[in-house]
Amino acid sequence: MDTMLTVKNEDLQALNSVQAVEFFRELLYAEATRIGVPLKNINISTWIDVPDGGIDASIHTDTISG
């Protein structure tokens, strides 16, 4: 059963590259908040066309305790 939080493939396919980065940024921030990872430890690149080996986000865990 779908809810208002259900995301379908066609929903994601409708996003342009900027919208996709924004969507996944918010999703990552929400999950990080849920598990107690400080948002300052998350780096999300908005440079989507830069040859970076496919790294779109990173989480610095060296300052996370627990």
What pLDDT score does 44 carry? 86
What pLDDT score does 5 carry? 84
CA-CA distance, 47 to 51, in Å (whole number)?
9
What pLDDT score does 41 carry? 93
- Per-domain boundaries in the chain: 12-59
pLDDT tens for 8-55 read: 999 999 999 889 889 999 999 999 999 999 999 998 888 877 777 777
What pLDDT score does 8 carry? 92
What pLDDT score does 63 carry? 59
